[in-house]
Amino acid sequence: MSNSVQMPALGESVTEGTVTRWLKSVGDTVEVDEPLLEVSTDKVDTEIPSPFAGVLEKILADEDDVVEVGGDLAYIGDGSDSGSAEVAPEEEPASEAAEESAPAEEKSEDEAPAEDTSSSSESEKTETSAESAPAADSQSSSGEGTEVTMPALGESVTEGTVTRWLKEVGEEVEVDEPLLEVSTDKVDTEVPSPVAGVVQAHLAEEDETVEVGAPLARIGSGAPAESAPAAEEPKQEEAPKEEAPKEQPKEEEAPKEEEAPKEEPKQEEAPKEEAPKQETTSASAPAAQSAAAAQSAPAKSESAPAKSESAAADTVGENSAYVTPLVRRLAKDEGVDLSTVTGTGVGGRIRKQDVIAAAANRPAAGSSAPAPAASGEAKKPFTLEIPEEAAKLRGTTEKASRIRQTIAKRMSESLEVSAQLTQVIEVDMTRVAKLRKANKDAFLDKHGVKLTYLPFFAKAIVEALKQHPKVNAQYDLESQEITYFDHENLAVAVDTPRGLLVPVVKDAGDLSIAGLAKAIDDVADRTRNNKIMPDELSGGTFTVTNIGSVGALFDTPIINQPQMGIIGTGAIVRRPIVVKTADGEESIAIRDMVYLPLTYNHQLVDGADAGRFLQTIKARLEDGNFEADLEL
């Protein structure tokens, strides 16, 4: 019995999606939740996991097809419905192509003069190419390789800009290995290679805008044809008689070669088409490349000692699944060799948790480093280490990515359309810190996510929004109308390799700390991995940004329009504070303190309104009565 896989709902306002790539072929076995295909909307690309386990019996929607939500995509069953019936059509073209190649061989033999050895060798070459044509016709019309085309990056996206080539001409690439980076006005993404082979040519340069479906590169099974022998052969054939006298001595030796088995047609080509020159050129090219690589290798290893770690981080076993850019970057930062990491994700994918665990379980090689200082030996002189990525940027000029352009535009517009100012309050987080420390292990065991300070801040914020509706509102300057929301959609700023993105936790006011912790962890993780849905990046009524994650005490955040405010959560630090004892006396105590800066729109929210809002948050956090919200 077969089960139908349907296009899932990709967001509240999304009614259809485009099939960009099938990750499984007909006949492949698929597990539950294993990625089955990639689907694109006008804002995001995402993978669709299989809802069933079994064999992919039939694909109902081809790549680039637009399918409505609920429409059928494929059939998955026990494999009984797929088999010889579907295999047979694939075998027929091969046999037909073989039959077609036979007349071509006969024709080339009839046209070739008996005394012209070059023509006979060319007919053999024609036979060889005719035999290989069936295998290549599905890859490229030229027969030289597979053309990689610009994928559909969204329903309304018609073109993309090549921002960076990740593989150079001549380099090998595996299936699903990132080939280049492409940018649109809404997202930057990597384009994986659809086939394995060698990059033979870049058909689009960096910063070049390419339409959807247009060729980007050509990937084949051999080295790039730098001397283009195929293109030069017709010219050499035009004047074979003129070159014949020069090659006459070699033609006299040809009979010895002709007496040998006909398995060596390449030896017959050499005297007529001046192939020795081409062979020298083609042979010297790899030698030059290997020599250049050998010369550059020591220089790179000397100037960048950490390069080996980054190279190791990019290394993944042949049987490993595709690794996201976030995981690669994390592996580089942690110095983890991905080839040694066992993935625990769907289909064996390596997740960030796997990299973190691998880094934690490494032998503590650096544990002996502090020993010289502890034993009284002199410390080594300070050495400035510049990260490789920073070193590459120094002294360069680059074009801003589409996401960076969008961020820059929206931040400037926000300051232009609203009257923004910032108010800061200091909060004693000691009770929350003690509660968190006492329950973080049990919380992780029960809920599967770490108990950070952010859910405590989020809980206090959404409760305060209910008590101060002006801060949870929207002011329309054109209609002069104010809308007070009856729900709290909390937007959370997330730092990603592509730039700052702000996913939204819908109806956050209805969630406990446990619910907020899981929701924030979920949207943040999917945002960093470019798996967030379009509707999850809009609809927020208030924003929180965790500036303390980088050690900042406070900031003046910019409002995410058209919201009325944004609050920053600074770093929590222990410092001496004047406190009152139970009998009313003052004393100095070490407390966990934090600054909370609130930027608000003075067009609607007055300074007193902002102050009362902050005081409500302060009182809730300092009281620290959150035990029930932990749901332990």
Is 447 a catalytic site residue? no
Predicted local confidence at residue 517, as pLDDT: 97
Predicted local confidence at residue 521, as pLDDT: 96
Nearest Cα to Cα of residue 536 among 35, 112, 41:
41
The residue that leads in pLDDT, 10 or 468, is: 468
562 cis-preceded (ω within 30 degrees of 0): yes
Q: In what order do the strands lie in the sheet with 72-77?
A: 3-6, 72-77, 54-59, 29-30
The residue that leads in pLDDT, 115 or 31, is: 31
Residue 399 in 3-state DSSP? coil
Of 37-41, 56-60, 417-421, 536-540, which one has max mean pLDDT?
A: 417-421
Q: Which of 111-115, 185-189, 378-382 has the lowest mean pLDDT?
A: 111-115
**pLDDT exceeds 80 at position 462:** yes
Of 94-103, 218-227, 283-292, 530-539, which one has max mean pLDDT?
A: 530-539
Pair 568, 547: CB distance under 8 Å:
yes
The residue that leads in pLDDT, 504 or 309, is: 504
Predicted local confidence at residue 221, as pLDDT: 82
DSSP 265-283: HHHHHHHHTTHHHHHHHHH
HEC string for 437-449: HHHHHHHHHHHCC
Is 606 a catalytic site residue? yes
**pLDDT exceeds 80 at position 282:** no
> Rounded to 5 degrees, what are φ and ψ at 372?
-55, -40
Query: What is the distance of C-alpha 89 from the center of its chain?
Result: 36
| CA separation for the pair 199, 166 (Å, rounded) | 11
Nearest Cα to Cα of residue 498 among 404, 408, 406, 410:
404
Please report which confidence band the pLDDT of residue 234 belongs to, taking 50, 70 and 90 as the band edges: very low
Q: Which of 382-391, 442-451, 476-485, 511-520 has the lowest mean pLDDT?
A: 382-391
Q: Which residue has the tokens 């820059």?
A: 408
Across the chain, mean pLDDT equals: 77
**pLDDT exceeds 50 at position 120:** no
Residue 212: count other Cβ atoms within 10 Å of its Cβ: 16
Please report which confidence band the pLDDT of residue 314 belongs to, taking 50, 70 and 90 as the band edges: very low
Pair 30, 56: CB distance under 8 Å:
yes
Query: How many degrees, rounded to 5, is the angle at CA 464 between CA 461 and CA 465?
Result: 85
What is the C-alpha R_g of the chain? 32
Pair 200, 136: CB distance under 8 Å:
no
Of 190-199, 390-399, 414-423, which one has max mean pLDDT?
A: 414-423
**pLDDT exceeds 80 at position 441:** yes
| CA separation for the pair 221, 144 (Å, rounded) | 8
**pLDDT exceeds 90 at position 300:** no
- The beta-carbon contacts of 355-363 under 8 Å, at least 24 apart in sequence, are 355/327, 355/330, 355/331, 356/330, 358/334, 359/334, 359/335, 362/336
Q: Which of 320-334, 529-543, 593-607 has the lowest mean pLDDT?
A: 320-334
The residue that leads in pLDDT, 439 or 33, is: 439
Predicted local confidence at residue 82, as pLDDT: 52
Joined tokens for residue 295: 């010369």
| CA separation for the pair 47, 59 (Å, rounded) | 16
Active-site residue, from 337, 602, 609, 629:
602
Please report which confidence band the pLDDT of residue 21 belongs to, taking 50, 70 and 90 as the band edges: confident
Nearest Cα to Cα of residue 101 among 137, 127, 138, 136:
127
Beta-strand relationship, 66-68 and 16-22: antiparallel
Active-site residue, from 486, 606, 609, 623:
606
Pair 247, 194: CB distance under 8 Å:
no
| CA separation for the pair 18, 39 (Å, rounded) | 5
The residue that leads in pLDDT, 129 or 334, is: 334
Q: Which of 70-79, 263-272, 450-459, 609-618 has the lowest mean pLDDT?
A: 263-272
Which of 375-385 are b and which e, b meaning 16 or more Cβ less than 10 Å from the residue's Cβ? eeeeeeeeeee
The residue that leads in pLDDT, 331 or 44, is: 331
Give me the helices (H) in 425-581, please. 430-447, 454-467, 513-528
Nearest Cα to Cα of residue 6 among 53, 61, 44, 88:
61
Over range 40-44, report the average pLDDT.
67
| CA separation for the pair 39, 508 (Å, rounded) | 28
First vs last C-alpha separation in the chain = 43
Q: Which of 27-31, 107-111, 346-350, 627-631 has the lowest mean pLDDT?
A: 107-111
Based on DSSP, count helices (H) and strands (E) in the chain, helices before strands.
16, 27
Pair 108, 122: CB distance under 8 Å:
yes
Of 52-66, 154-168, 178-192, 284-298, which one has max mean pLDDT?
A: 52-66
Over range 78-96, report the average pLDDT.
49
Residue 484 in 3-state DSSP? strand
Residue 297 in 3-state DSSP? helix
| CA separation for the pair 152, 44 (Å, rounded) | 11
Angstrom distances, CA of residue 415 to CA of 158, 405, 558, 559, 600: 31, 16, 7, 8, 11
**pLDDT exceeds 90 at position 297:** no
**pLDDT exceeds 70 at position 38:** yes
**pLDDT exceeds 90 at position 469:** yes
The residue that leads in pLDDT, 8 or 607, is: 607
- The beta-carbon contacts of 446-453 under 8 Å, at least 24 apart in sequence, are 446/631, 446/632, 447/514, 447/517, 447/518, 447/631, 448/518, 449/517, 449/518, 449/521, 450/517, 450/521, 451/517, 451/630, 452/517, 453/429, 453/548, 453/569, 453/572
Joined tokens for residue 314: 């990019």
Pair 426, 595: CB distance under 8 Å:
yes
Which tens digit of pLDDT belongs to each residue from 157-216? 788 888 889 999 999 999 888 899 887 765 677 888 888 899 999 999 988 899 888 999
Predicted local confidence at residue 78, as pLDDT: 83
Torsion angle (degrees, nearest 10) of CA 349, 495, 312, 324? 30
Pair 492, 543: CB distance under 8 Å:
yes
Joined tokens for residue 177: 């290995």
Over range 493-505, report the average pLDDT.
92
Predicted local confidence at residue 163, as pLDDT: 83
Domains (ranges, CATH) in the chain? 3-82 (2.40.50.100), 146-217 (2.40.50.100), 310-365 (4.10.320.10), 403-630 (3.30.559.10)
Of 236-240, 395-399, 540-544, which one has max mean pLDDT?
A: 540-544
Q: Rounded to two decimals, what is the model's pTM?
A: 0.47
The residue that leads in pLDDT, 604 or 362, is: 604
Pair 622, 431: CB distance under 8 Å:
yes
